[in-house]
Amino acid sequence: MSCFLSNSSLGKKLVMSVTGAFLVLFILFHMSMNITAIISPEAYNMICEFLGANWYALAGTAVLALGVLVHFIYAVILTLNNYKARGSQRYAVTVQEPGVAWASKNMLVLGFIILGGLLIHLFNFWSKMQLVEIMGGHVNSLGFSPADGAALIAYTFSQWYYVVIYLVWFFALWFHLTHGVWSMFQTVGWANDTWYPRLKCIANIVATIVFLGFAAVVLVYFFCPCIAGAC
């Protein structure tokens, strides 16, 4: 089984699909949690405090990091294999249409943009929240409690360049998901003539919900900083 997952093209795509599905579920959870910061900053901070550096949150963080790492490594391997096998015809799909051509052929580029955005996000939030608690601190470098996520959101998105960076990140994620979500099902043979339009529609809906959910938090906190008492 391990040889199938690591050596065969189908096995590698299956790993990509499984890790991708896991990451999509996490993204939807994270987006839902962030929307709470708009509805009630106090409730959002309670969630941040509940998660914090507890063992279950640390275990979840480790599993998430592993999922991202495996997904990225297999994406690079598959892309390199496709280059060798097909030359300039990279990420081959069973159904071609103009709407998926760009995203499908630039998944690795989008992946690097998303990875860069993730590193910035870890610097802005994880290093000032969970990492502070892991290190035994009670106040982060900005003077906030590591559980005061709403104040950290308000501070971060009071700076226009972070608003731009995050929106570009979310847009790249939208492109990535519009292809990635339906290609997960393609790997298991569902993307036939009947199911392709349906899966493509589902992929677009999921990607758009993710984009709008994350972007709403950024824009609301940028234009209405008083929502977290930051004015």
Measured between alpha carbons, how far is residue 5 from residues 23, 80, 96 in Å? 19, 16, 26
Tell me the CA end-to-end span of the chain in Å, nearest whole number: 57
Distance CA 228, CA 214 (A): 17
Domain region containing 51: 2-228
The predicted structure's pLDDT at residue 188 = 61
Greatest alpha-carbon pair distance for the chain in Å reads: 58
Q: Does residue 4 register a pLDDT over 50?
A: no
Per-residue pLDDT tens digits for 29-52: 999 999 999 999 999 999 999 998
Distance CA 157, CA 225 (A): 9
Q: Is 141 exposed, middle or buried (0-12, 13-18, 19+ CB in 10 A)?
A: exposed
Per-residue pLDDT tens digits for 208-224: 999 999 999 999 999 98
What is the CATH number for 6? 1.20.1300.10
Measured in degrees and rounded to the nearest 5, phi and psi for residue 50 equal -65, -40
Which tokens go with 153?
């959101």
Q: In percent, how much of the chain has pLDDT > 70?
A: 81
pTM: 0.84
The predicted structure's pLDDT at residue 103 = 61
- Structural domain total, the chain: 1
Per-residue pLDDT tens digits for 92-144: 444 444 444 566 667 778 888 999 999 999 999 999 999 999 999 999 999 99
